[in-house]
Amino acid sequence: MRRDLCDGVGIARILNATLVLPKFEVAAYWNESSGFGDVFDVDYFIQKMNGFIKVAKDLPADVASKEPFRVDCSKRKGQFDYRESILPLLLKHHYISLTPAMSQRRDRYPQYAKATLCQACYSALRLTSSLEKKALELLDAIPKPFLSLHLRFEPDMVAYSRCEYPNLSPSSLAAIKAAGLDKKPWTGDLAQSWRKRGKCPLTPNETALMFQSLRIPTATNIYLAAGDGLMEMEGFTSVYTKVFTKSALLNREDFTRMHGNTKAALDYYVSINSDAYVATYFGNMDKMVAAMRAYGGMHKTLFLSRKAFAELTSQGLEEEELKKGLLEVHKSDFESGRGSALPDCFCEFRL
């Protein structure tokens, strides 16, 4: 959502349009009713964007009763241009709801739109004072130094990947099947090809093996930046025993009252301020955390290679040979501490 919001800011600048503070698509993430103002400091955001774009908290009365003209740019192909394709619709309808086009990469934005996007991403978006206070409380409670681990192995994540995991517990397999509905795992050669392309999430057990190959001590303090419902966690916690979660560290009553969005915001805050950050995936949160850490000069960021793991295990490597191979793959990234790549949302200039 943070990424999409920053994209929206950049597009508003390209179109010279006023940005109305967005409403969260609750169905896409968690079944809840939190909004922009529950996570971000609205007045601060508007103040910091002054001079870049106009931001409106609410729609004018004459527009609020209307439905926006919806424009889905997400499947546009080729050298898609917002001014050519979308500006005429904005001028005609005056009020549009836009789904950004992934084909229009941010590095193709004009410089003034890049500057606007980066102002939003790195300067204008800060947590509400109450949420930042809670984030600081959580950060203080984690033993130092610590590594933040973003581990993705939830039932819906695995079901969506359509990967096979033959050694999972019956309860995990049942949860994946329930989450997948009509999606069935790939089988045979297709399953192998899919895995070799690095499409399959690492299990907690595989993550522990990766950590051991990188010689990360088993006594390392690890903050688990993840939502509820992670499967097979004993495969990791049986090796790395000092694992801390927000549900265990925060006041139970406070935690149960929090929305999924605000819980995710805590993980994000802790991750950009951790001594090191390791991700088993390269999703939106990982890209944003890596960019923010790089911007702040905190380069101890690493993305574990699912592709390398699949390739080495397909060669029949096990135990020490596998660990040696994994160390070789990650060695330069791990030692330099810069991760495998900076995402395209990273801005090369400070504002």
> What SS3 string covers 69-115?
EEEECCCCCCCCCHHHHCHHHHHHHCCEEEECCCCCCHHHCCHHHHH
Q: Are 211 and 279 in contact (CB under 8 A)?
A: no
> What SS3 string covers 245-274?
CHHHHCCHHHHHHCCHHHHHHHHHHHHHCC
pLDDT tens profile 54-95: 999 988 888 888 899 998 887 776 677 889 989 999 999 999
d(CA 223, CA 262) in angstroms, rounded, equals 17
Instruction: Tell whether 242 is covered by a domain.
Output: yes
Q: Do 121 and 134 have their domain in common?
A: no
Q: Is the pLDDT assigned to residue 4 strictly greater than 70?
A: yes
Q: Is the pLDDT assigned to residue 350 strictly greater than 80?
A: no
Average pLDDT over residues 223-241: 94
Residue 261: what pLDDT? Answer: 84
Q: Do 139 and 280 have their domain in common?
A: yes
Q: Do 134 and 231 have their domain in common?
A: yes
Residue 34: what pLDDT? Answer: 67
Q: Do 143 and 279 have their domain in common?
A: yes
Of 126, 141, 168, the residue that ends a domain is 126
Q: Are 120 and 19 in contact (CB under 8 A)?
A: no
Instruction: Tell whether 164 is covered by a domain.
Output: no
pLDDT tens profile 294-331: 888 887 899 999 999 999 999 999 999 999 999 999 98
Instruction: Tell whether 39 is covered by a domain.
Output: yes
Q: Do 228 and 332 have their domain in common?
A: yes
Q: Do 4 and 61 have their domain in common?
A: yes
pTM: 0.88
- The CATH number of residue 265's host domain is 3.40.50
344 vs 130, residue with greater confidence = 130
Split into its structural domains, the chain has a count of: 2
Instruction: Tell whether 106 is covered by a domain.
Output: yes
Task: Decide: helix, strand or coil at residue 31.
Answer: coil
Instruction: Tell whether 168 is covered by a domain.
Output: no
Task: Name the band, by pLDDT with cuts 50, 70 and 90, for residue 336.
Answer: low
Residue 26: what pLDDT? Answer: 55
Instruction: Tell whether 173 is covered by a domain.
Output: no
Residue 341: what pLDDT? Answer: 38
Give residue 137's Cα distance to chain centre: 22
Instruction: Tell whether 114 is covered by a domain.
Output: yes
Q: Do 138 and 273 have their domain in common?
A: yes
Residue 343: what pLDDT? Answer: 42
Unique residue bearing structure tokens 């093996």: 209
Of 108, 126, 144, the residue that ends a domain is 126
Taking the chain, what is the end-to-end CA distance rounded to the nearest angstrom? 22
Burial of 79 (0-12, 13-18, 19+ CB in 10 A): exposed
Q: Do 45 and 136 have their domain in common?
A: no
Task: Name the band, by pLDDT with cuts 50, 70 and 90, for residue 335.
Answer: low
User: Which CA distances in Å does 146 have to 120, 160, 224, 243, 337?
Assistant: 29, 31, 10, 10, 15
Instruction: Tell whether 210 is covered by a domain.
Output: yes
User: What's the mean per-residue pLDDT of the chain?
Assistant: 87
Residues in the chain: 351
Average pLDDT over residues 182-207: 92
Domain housing 97: 1-126
Q: Do 16 and 100 have their domain in common?
A: yes
Q: Do 85 and 209 have their domain in common?
A: no
Question: Per mean pLDDT, which range of 204-208, 227-231, 313-317 is the poorest?
Answer: 227-231
Residue 297: what pLDDT? Answer: 82
Residue 249: what pLDDT? Answer: 94
- Amino acid (1-letter code) at residue 74: S
User: Which CA distances in Å does 254 have to 131, 148, 182, 246?
Assistant: 11, 22, 37, 11
Q: Do 111 and 44 have their domain in common?
A: yes
Q: Do 257 and 207 have their domain in common?
A: yes
